[in-house]
Amino acid sequence: MVSRQRMWRVLPVFALLALALSGCSNSKVEMNVLDPHGSAGEKQLDLINWSFILMLAVFAVVTTIYIYVLIRYRKRKGIDRMPEQVHGNTVLEIVWTVIPIILLAILAVPTVSTTFDLSEKPKTKDAIRVVVTGHQYWWEFEYPDLGIKTAQELHIPVGRKVDLEIHGKDVLHSFWVPSLQGKTDVVPGRVNHMTLDADKPGVYQGKCAELCGAGHALMDFKVIASNDADFNKWVAEMKAPPAPVTTASEKKGEQLFQQNCMGCHAGINPNVQGPDLNKFGTRTTIAGVLPHDEQHLKQWLHNPQAVKPGALMPKINYLQPDEIQALTDYLMSRK
């Protein structure tokens, strides 16, 4: 519920945006700083609006004087006037020094208080702890208290604080969910914290916001917020033992997976590590960017670099079509 007080602050921005916004957002995945669905994003938007209004006031004053001066004091044809050579005006100069200082003080107070506010770790006991690790070019999410490990999709329950512990392994990345909360950098060698929550169920687009190499533009992820019941269902699903391998094709696929994929995707080789695929069938995207279906999975397997430049996964283009089919069947059945 958006409070009325906040609405009037949002208004000027939206007035400017009316044109740009209309007819643009036709997807269910949300990605908009100006339409936040989390408490952090709302605080940030309040500050954005507050600073915008203050600055707009300054801009209005400057523009008014500017237009007046340009019209009133333009050189007119045939008139040769010698302007008075004034040195300055102490009173005026003090005025336009002091007023900006006051304006900035007005801005500085909420800025500092929000800065401290946002840096606080959640105090409530029902907060969910998630360890986020940024990799070239994918995101790993681990729920240490729940014993779940997944990738590309961060599931959170609506209304509960999520305490993110952000790690890095290779280069700098930056964790950003525009609709929920601003950025926190992934810095290899240090651990950063960030608190996140969503106030309504939905899918929120996440982005990597720090240049991290060739695939930077496609290092996407999603935050999937659902109500408590759905979230618990998801947790149970994730913790359940892997689905049995039933059909012949799937069995062949399992074998192929063990021969070709396990080195990276099951953590045997600690240096080359890919996303955990145990529950691959439950995901909604492939590699964070492709739709989750067989055709796109085959496309990805055939040439990952064509989808995501710089992806570290080798091309699986040496298998026969039926083997690829088997591997696809196996992966899609991992639920």
Partner 1 sequence: MGTLIVLIVFALFLTAILTGGYNKTFLERVKNSKVWDWLTTVDHKKIGILYFLSGFFFFLVGGIEALFMRLQLVVPHNDLFVGDTFNELLTMHGTTMIFMAAMPMIFGLMNAVVPLQIGARDVAFPFVNALGFWLFFAGGLLMNLSWIFGGAPDAGWTSYTSLALNNYSPGPGVDFYVLGLQIAGIGTLIGGLNFMATIINLRAPGMTFLRMPMFTWTSFVTSTIILFAFPPLTVALLLLMFDRLFGSHFFDYTMGGSAVIWEHLFWIFGHPEVYIVILPAFGVMSEVISTFSRKRLFGYTSMVFATVLIAFLSFMVWVHHMFTVGLGPVSNSIFAVATMAIAVPTGIKVFNWLFTMWGGEIRFTTAMLFAIGFIPTFVMGGMTGVMLAAPPADFQYQDSYFVVAHFHYVLVGGTVMGLFAGAYYWWPKMFGKMLNETIGKIHFWTFLIGFHLTFFPQHFLGLFGMPRRVFTYQPGMGLDSLNLISTIGVVGMAIGTIAFLYNIYWSFKKAAPAPADPWDGRTLEWAISSPPPVYNFAQLPLVRGYDAWWMEKQAGNKSLPPAEPLGSIHMPSSSFIPILMALGFFIAGFGFIFRGDFVGAIIGLVLVIVCLFLRSFDRDHGYHIEPDEIEETNKGVQA
Residues 234-293 interacting with partner 1 (rule: CB under 8 A): 289
What one-character DSSP code corresponds to residue 275? -
Out of 26, 124, 271, 320, name the contact with partner 1 by CB under 8 A: 26
Least distance between partner 1 and beta carbon 90 (Å): 9
Q: Does 93 bind partner 1 (CB under 8 A)?
A: yes
Contacts of 285 (CB under 8 A, 6+ apart): 152, 153, 220, 222, 291, 292
Least distance between partner 1 and beta carbon 292 (Å): 15
Shorter beta-carbon distance to partner 1: residue 17 or 235: 17
Structure tokens at 70: 């340009």
Out of 11, 14, 73, 317, name the contact with partner 1 by CB under 8 A: 73
Binding mask 168-207 for partner 1 (x = CB under 8 A): --xxx-x-x-xx-xxxxx-xxxx-xx-----------x-x
Continuous segment of H or E residues that includes residue 93: helix 90-119
Give the type of residue at 249.
S
Shorter beta-carbon distance to partner 1: residue 166 or 245: 166
Shorter beta-carbon distance to partner 1: residue 21 or 262: 21
Burial 150-172 (b: 16+ CB within 10 A, else e): bbbbbbbbbebbbbbbbbbeebe
Place of tokens 């203050």: 54
End-to-end CA distance of the chain: 36
Q: Does 87 bind partner 1 (CB under 8 A)?
A: yes
Q: Which of the residues 131 through 150 are near partner 1 (CB under 8 A)?
A: 136
Shorter beta-carbon distance to partner 1: residue 136 or 333: 136
Which stretch in 117-125, 152-160, 272-280, 318-326 sits in contact with partner 1 by CB under 8 A? 117-125
Question: How big is the chain, counted in residues?
Answer: 335
The count of chain residues that interact with partner 1, using the rule CB under 8 A, is 95
Shorter beta-carbon distance to partner 1: residue 120 or 145: 120
Out of 159, 263, 310, 314, name the contact with partner 1 by CB under 8 A: 310
Structure tokens at 330: 């196996």
Burial class, 325, CB count within 10 angstroms (exposed 0-12 / middle 13-18 / buried 19+): middle
Q: Does 14 bind partner 1 (CB under 8 A)?
A: no
Contact (CB, 8 A) for 117 and 210 = no
Out of 119, 232, 247, 259, name the contact with partner 1 by CB under 8 A: 119
Which stretch in 1-9, 100-108, 254-262, 315-323 sits in contact with partner 1 by CB under 8 A? 100-108
Structure tokens at 187: 């810095």
Q: Which of the residues 41 through 60 are near partner 1 (CB under 8 A)?
A: 41, 43-44, 47-48, 51-52, 54-56, 58-59
Q: What are phi and psi of 242, to 5 degrees?
A: -60, 150
d(CA 154, CA 220): 11
Least distance between partner 1 and beta carbon 23 (Å): 9
Burial class, 108, CB count within 10 angstroms (exposed 0-12 / middle 13-18 / buried 19+): exposed
Shorter beta-carbon distance to partner 1: residue 107 or 127: 107
Q: Does 108 bind partner 1 (CB under 8 A)?
A: yes
d(CA 280, CA 151): 9
Q: What are phi and psi of 317, to 5 degrees?
A: -105, 10
Cis upstream peptide for 137 (omega within 30°): yes
Least distance between partner 1 and beta carbon 133 (Å): 14
What one-character DSSP code corresponds to residue 216? G
Contact (CB, 8 A) for 333 and 243 = yes
Out of 154, 162, 218, 313, name the contact with partner 1 by CB under 8 A: 218
Least distance between partner 1 and beta carbon 20 (Å): 5
Q: Does 226 bind partner 1 (CB under 8 A)?
A: no
